Structure 1
Amino acid sequence: MIQQQSILGVSDNSGAKTVKCIKVLGGFNKKVAKLGDIIVVSIQKLRNKSKHLSKVKKGEIYKALIIRTKTKHKNKNGILVNFQSNDVSLINKSGKPIPTRILGPIPKIFKVKKFLKFANISSGFI
């Protein structure tokens, strides 16, 4: 469960290392975000190796898709899946991914039509 002021990791090659959640999108009174939800984030830290080659800058505001959470998520076949960290992947204003690849596996729920581009740039599924 991700809420406002949560610090999240970024698991893609956009250049950001950590982000802070500013707002949970998807409803008037929505307080927490789950796996697959879109949130508004601010860039907190950049990766050291790519500071001058980064696609993003510190302090900028972006939308992000939550791809991993510590809370348990139940697959359609009944298997419980949870990860060790809360991670997001950055998206631009039109909903397309900023990075060209996602590091680590993502859940199979991203194979739907809305998130098919994230499934194509990921390394595997769980």
Structure 2
Amino acid sequence: MLSSTAFILLPGNRIQHRAFSKSAVVHHLQKQSRLRVVDNSALGRQAMMDGKPPKIIQVYNKTGIASIGDKVLVAILGQKKKGFVVGCKHMKQRPLVPRYDTNNMVLLDDNGNPLGTRILVPLPSMLRGEKPRYSKILALCSRFV
């Protein structure tokens, strides 16, 4: 981490030192990133109401960086569950992919079936292009952007 020091002149000719970081902002989801559950599963609702959103502990791809359409393993209320990322806050803007205000995910069971019966936010329409992979999740959603 790069750091630097700034000198601030206070009233009475006093000088104060402040350290600040010059490292770049992380523009992707990785381990320890927090997500918001956007389905109506009981586990997801309870975690969000308790103010303990799930945390990524593993990303299932080569890079270790998750984006829309990736599967992740999350820790939620002391349990390990699989999830599917359906919205990224800091993703680089691409054509036909909406920008989200939060990092959204849908909880999955061990077989890849969604735990909830509805998805409460609109999904990006780019997921419709890969139907076989996401067919169970797309069937639960009624709105696309």
Identity over aligned pairs, percent? 31
| Aligned equivalent of 1:113 | 132
- Deviation per residue, 1:21-55 (Å, 9 max, x gap): 0011123xx22111100000011xxxxxxxxxxxx
Distance in 1 separating the partners of 2:72 and 2:109: 12
1:24 and 2:59 matched = yes
Q: Which has the larger radius of gyration?
A: 2
CA, structure 1 residues 79+110, in 2 after alignment: closer, same or farther (shift >3 Å)?
closer
Pick from 40, 49, 54: which aligns with 1:13?
40
| Aligned equivalent of 2:82 | 63
CA, structure 1 residues 73+91, in 2 after alignment: closer, same or farther (shift >3 Å)?
farther
Show structure 1 runs of 5+ residues with no match.
Answer: 44-57
- Deviation per residue, 1:37-89 (Å, 9 max, x gap): 0000011xxxxxxxxxxxxxx21100000001112453xxx434211100100
Per the normalisation by structure 1, the TM-score is 0.78
Distance in 2 separating the partners of 1:80 and 1:11: 18
Runs of 4+ aligned residues of structure 1 deviating over 6 Å after TM superposition are none
Pick from 25, 31, 38: which aligns with 2:71?
38
Give aligned pairs, total.
107
Distance in 1 separating the partners of 2:96 and 2:141: 21
CA offset at residue 123 of structure 1? 2.6
Distance in 2 separating the partners of 1:88 and 1:38: 9
Return the structure number with greater relative CO, CA threshold 8 A, min gap 6.
1
Show structure 2 runs of 5+ residues with no match.
Answer: 1-27
| Aligned equivalent of 2:101 | 84
Per the normalisation by structure 2, the TM-score is 0.69
Distance in 1 separating the partners of 2:37 and 2:109: 15
Higher helix residue share:
2
> 1:39 corresponds to which letter in structure 2?
V
